[in-house]
Structures are given as structure tokens and as C-alpha cells.
């Protein structure tokens, strides 16, 4: 008689799978290196120009480079050997970090160079991420994909917490150039474990113009109702996470200080880390699509309740709950995407799925910000959350295929005939 799986995350994959262990080490170092750059660029531009507009422009340009890299990286990952593409992208990112370091050492650093290199690193960083996502099922096996995703999620969360703290200390005591230099050195270190990966060839497929190949990815996403709905739920959750744009205005109604405002920003990541750490049974649910829809509805409801809370402490708990439910939902999204997408589409679908995070966050921030301009911030959060929950309930009843779907390996499919829901 087999025992029930533990609720806690199983880390055994790091011990038993050498390739995944290499990816884990490289990913953690890479996240820290990218975090160093992410804090250094705004600090340097603010020091050079004193303009928050210029800082915002740099962040926007880097995001645009990342978006383009995710789309192009998906096409490349379905066409070229993925290990080589990962190594090329990481090496090219390192060149960008070196350029930022040398520019920072100049008596008068070039603002245009910072903008250009921010786009450069955003683009090639995204290409590497997309290729790595496409290669993961081959490295760990589709039966282990949710476990690998949960471990990766924890890596991202802890790396995102550590890197700003490290970057701030380096800037304070050593200067901006050292920050970029350490980011470049960290990128070099990521190449060492990645060199041990096996060759990761995509399935043979016809050569075609990159834009036509990308259009094929969009066609698969829209014609496969299960994969398309998974991406839609992911986009809605990403939009809901943009509720953070309302935090400063809502903090005024609670009369809290900057420290307590900081706790609001930390609440969702904390909930997500707890969700990843206690996700041991997620890979074993019989109906992952059903659970994904339920956790999405509950997450949206948590945002709706957040807007109604009259007390700061209860609002904080709602944000933690949203982070927890979003993490479980993201793992189910990841498992369904990786398990149900044929290998010849993995690059493009992973690129599009990741790109919707960039677009969804921007659209969510714009929508919630606009709602906050016409009504009380609390009502904006509540209206958006409960509205999204209602949409989730409608999808729950309408999407029979998604409710019944199970995790399995798809049969290879011809690119001209995208799968549709049975």
C-alpha cells in the first residue's frame, strides 16, 4: 500500500538528475547576476540624470527587449540545438554586462550605451530562458515537470530576494562598476554547469520564415483550447498581480508608514514561496485543469477581499493568500504547458506563455491604475478581483476539456495541424 505524497516539496530531483542539478545551479547564479543589473541600471541613471522618467524609460526598453527575445527565442528553440542556444545567449548577456561595467568606469558614462545594453541583455536573457524552458522536459522527463517547476520557482523567489540586497551593498561600498562586473562574472560562472548538459536537438521540422514560424505558434495556441485557456488564466493572474500599483494609495487610508508599505510588497512573494515549498502533491492531482481553475477563482477572490478589508493586517493576509494560490496555479500552468505541448512547439509556446507575463503585468498596471483614477483604490482592487473571479467561474463551467484534462505526453503533431480540444 503506497503512502500519500508529502505536502512538502520533494528536492530529490536535484540528487538524482545531474542535468537538472546543473540547470539549478546555473539558474540561481543567473538570477542573482540579473538582479545585480536590475538594481544597478536604475541607480546609475538616476545618479546621472536625476530623472525618474529616464529611469522608467530604461526599464521599459529592457522589458521591450525581453518581450522580443521571448518571441524570437521560441522560434530559435524550435529550430536549433537548444544547449548551444542556451550557451550562446548566456555568453552574449555576459558581453553586455562587461560593456555596462566598462561604461560605468568612464569619466562620463554614456546614457545611450546604458539604454542599448539594457535592451541587449533583456533580449538575449529572454532567448536563453525560452530555450531552457523548451529543453526542460527532455532533461527531467515530463513525469517530473511539476516538481522541477516548483524547485525552479523557489530558486527564482530566493534569488530575487537576495540579489537586490547584495546589489545595494555592492553599490554602497564598492560602486556601480563593481555591480556590473560581478554580474558579468556570475554569468561566466553559469556557463560552467551548463557545459555539462547533453545535446538537446529539437524535432526535425520544415524551414520557414521566422515570422511564419511564430504565426504557427500563435495558431497552435489559439486552436488548442486547453493550452489557450491555460495561457488566458495565466494572463489574468498576471494582471491581478499588478494590484501592487494601488498599494501606496491604499496605504494612506490605513495611515501606515513606509516599512508597513514594504510588507505589502513582500506579502505576495512570501505567499508564492510558501506555495512552492508546500507543493509536493500538486504533481499528483487527478484533474490539474480543474484544480487550476479553482485556484484561479480563489486567487481572484483574495484580491477582491483585499480591497474590502478595513484592517491592514487582514489585507496583508489576503495578499499572502493570493501569492500562495497564484504559485500553485502557476505550477499547474507550467505542468500542463510542458506536458501537453508537442516537442516541436515547445520553444514557441513557452516563449508566448512567458511573454504573456510581461504583457499581462503592463496591461494590469494600466487598467488598475486607470480604475484607481476614477474610483477609490480599494474599490478598484475589489472590482477587478471579483470581476475576474466571476469570469473564472464562467470558464469553469464552459471549459469541459480543461476540467477533464490529465497530464500526459502528447503525440508529435504536424505543424500545419494544431491540436484542438477533444
For the segment 28-53, the average pLDDT, to the nearest whole number, is: 79
- Residue 418's pLDDT band, with cuts at 50, 70 and 90, is very low
- Residue 417's pLDDT band, with cuts at 50, 70 and 90, is very low
- Write down the pLDDT at residue 319: 94
87-98 exposure pattern, b = at least 16 Cβ within 10 A, e = fewer: bbbbbbbbebbb
- What is the percent of the chain with per-residue pLDDT over 70, rounded to a whole number? 94
Output 15-22 pairs: Cβ under 8 A, ≥24 positions apart. 17/139, 17/140, 17/144, 18/196, 19/139, 19/140, 19/196, 19/197, 19/198, 20/139, 20/140, 20/148, 21/193, 22/193, 22/194, 22/196, 22/197
H-run or E-run covering 53: helix 52-77
- Write down the pLDDT at residue 3: 61
- Residue 214's pLDDT band, with cuts at 50, 70 and 90, is confident
- Write down the pLDDT at residue 295: 96
For the segment 23-51, the average pLDDT, to the nearest whole number, is: 81
Q: Which cell is 283 given?
A: 504533481
Does pLDDT of 411 surpass 70? no
Q: Which cell is 7 given?
A: 505536502
326 in Cβ contact with 268 (< 8 Å):
yes
- Write down the pLDDT at residue 292: 94
Q: What is the CA radius of gyration of the chain?
A: 21
- Residue 413's pLDDT band, with cuts at 50, 70 and 90, is very low
Q: Where are the alpha helices (DSSP H) in 142-224?
A: 145-173, 176-194, 210-223
How do residues 86-137 score in pLDDT, each as one tens digit?
A: 999 989 988 998 999 999 999 888 989 988 998 898 899 889 888 888 888 8
Interacting residues of 141 by C-beta distance below 8 A, sequence separation 6+: none
Amino acid at each position: 500500500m503506497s503512502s500519500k505524497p508529502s505536502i512538502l516539496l520533494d528536492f530529490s530531483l536535484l540528487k538524482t538528475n545531474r542535468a537538472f542539478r546543473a540547470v539549478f545551479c546555473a539558474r540561481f547564479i543567473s538570477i542573482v547576476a540579473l538582479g545585480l543589473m536590475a538594481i544597478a541600471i536604475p541607480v546609475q541613471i538616476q545618479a546621472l540624470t536625476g530623472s525618474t522618467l529616464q529611469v522608467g524609460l530604461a526599464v521599459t526598453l529592457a522589458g521591450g527587449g525581453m518581450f522580443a527575445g521571448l518571441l524570437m527565442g521560441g522560434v530559435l528553440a524550435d529550430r536549433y540545438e537548444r544547449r548551444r542556444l542556451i550557451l550562446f545567449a548566456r555568453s552574449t548577456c555576459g558581453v553586455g554586462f562587461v560593456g555596462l561595467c566598462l561604461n560605468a568606469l568612464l569619466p562620463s558614462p554614456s546614457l545611450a550605451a546604458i539604454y542599448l545594453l539594457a535592451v541587449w541583455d533583456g533580449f538575449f536573457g529572454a532567448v536563453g530562458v525560452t530555450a531552457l524552458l523548451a529543453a526542460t522536459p527532455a532533461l527531467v522527463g515530463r513525469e517530473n515537470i511539476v516538481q522541477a517547476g516548483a524547485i525552479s520557482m523557489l530558486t527564482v523567489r530566493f534569488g530575487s530576494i537576495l540579489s537586490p540586497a547584495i546589489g545595494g551593498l555592492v553599490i554602497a561600498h564598492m560602486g556601480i562598476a563593481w555591480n556590473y562586473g560581478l554580474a558579468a562574472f556570475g554569468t561566466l560562472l553559469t556557463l560552467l554547469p551548463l557545459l555539462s548538459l547533453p545535446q538537446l536537438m529539437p524535432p526535425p521540422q520544415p524551414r520557414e520564415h521566422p515570422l511564419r514560424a511564430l504565426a504557427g505558434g500563435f495558431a497552435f495556441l489559439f486552436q488548442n483550447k486547453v493550452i489557450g485557456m491555460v495561457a488566458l488564466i495565466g494572463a489574468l493572474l498576471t494582471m491581478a498581480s499588478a494590484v501592487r500599483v494601488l498599494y501606496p494609495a491604499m496605504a494612506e487610508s490605513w495611515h501606515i508608514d513606509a516599512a508597513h508599505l514594504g510588507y505589502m510588497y513582500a506579502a505576495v512573494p512570501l505567499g508564492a514561496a510558501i506555495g512552492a515549498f508546500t507543493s509536493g502533491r500538486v504533481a499528483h492531482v487527478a484533474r490539474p485543469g480543474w484544480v487550476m481553475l479553482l485556484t484561479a477563482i480563489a486567487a481572484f477572490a483574495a484580491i477582491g477581499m483585499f480591497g474590502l478589508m478595513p484592517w491592514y493586517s487582514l489585507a496583508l493576509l489576503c495578499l499572502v493568500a493570493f501569492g500562495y494560490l497564484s504559485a500553485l496555479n502557476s505550477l499547474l500552468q507550467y505542468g500542463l504547458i510542458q506536458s501537453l505541448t508537442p516537442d516541436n512547439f515547445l520553444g514557441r509556446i513557452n516563449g508566448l506563455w512567458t511573454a504573456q507575463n510581461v504583457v499581462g503585468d503592463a496591461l494590469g498596471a494600466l487598467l488598475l491604475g486607470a480604475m484607481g483614477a476614477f474610483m477609490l483604490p480599494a474599490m478598484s482592487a475589489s472590482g477587478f478581483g471579483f470581476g475576474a473571479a466571476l469570469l473564472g467561474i464562467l470558464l469553469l463551467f464552459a471549459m469541459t476539456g480543461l476540467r477533464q484534462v490529465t497530464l500526459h505526453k502528447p503525440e508529435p503533431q504536424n505543424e500545419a495541424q494544431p491540436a484542438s480540444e477533444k
